[in-house]
Amino acid sequence: MEVQYTKKALKKMCPDWQCIRSFGDIIGRKILQRVREFKATNCLEDLRNAPGRHEELTGNKKTQLSCRLTANWRLIYRPFGNWEEYLENGGLSWKKVDKIEIIEVEDYHNN
């Protein structure tokens, strides 16, 4: 899959050691691992049952997904482009998603 970033700062740090420097060893390495996993797959469906528990979000984050980095930390992303392109039968077609955009890394328990 192709990986994009919503923020220039994330784009700068995610492909290398800057990620570890910014987020710490454990979370930084997990971010790098998840980005490698995204790039190694053809579509989001390939990650549906992969480690990291990829899941669709609800409420005001309805068009976004997350995957776990640790018990508290999540990598938040969404299909790149127009959300409607990826819909099928009223829900997200994970098979259609071949580009994603990483939005943020978030500590769910500090919100």
Q: What is the pLDDT of residues 9-41, one digit of tens each?
A: 777 766 677 888 888 999 999 999 999 999 999
Q: What is the mean pLDDT of the chain?
A: 90
The DSSP call for residue 15 is T
Strands in 65-68's sheet, in edge-to-edge order, are 2-5, 99-107, 73-79, 65-68, 55-56
Give the distance, in angstroms, between the CA of residue 35 and the centroid of all CA atoms in the same chain: 8
Residue reference for tokens 């979000």: 57
Q: What is the pLDDT of residues 28-75, one digit of tens each?
A: 999 999 999 999 999 999 999 999 999 999 999 989 999 999 999 999
pLDDT the model gives residue 17 = 76
C-alpha to C-alpha distances, 8 to 11, 66, 101, nearest whole angstrom: 5, 20, 12
C-alpha to C-alpha distances, 12 to 5, 15, 18, 26, nearest whole angstrom: 9, 7, 8, 19
Structural domains of the chain sorted by starting position, each given as residue range(s) with its CATH number in brackets: 2-110 (3.30.2310.20)
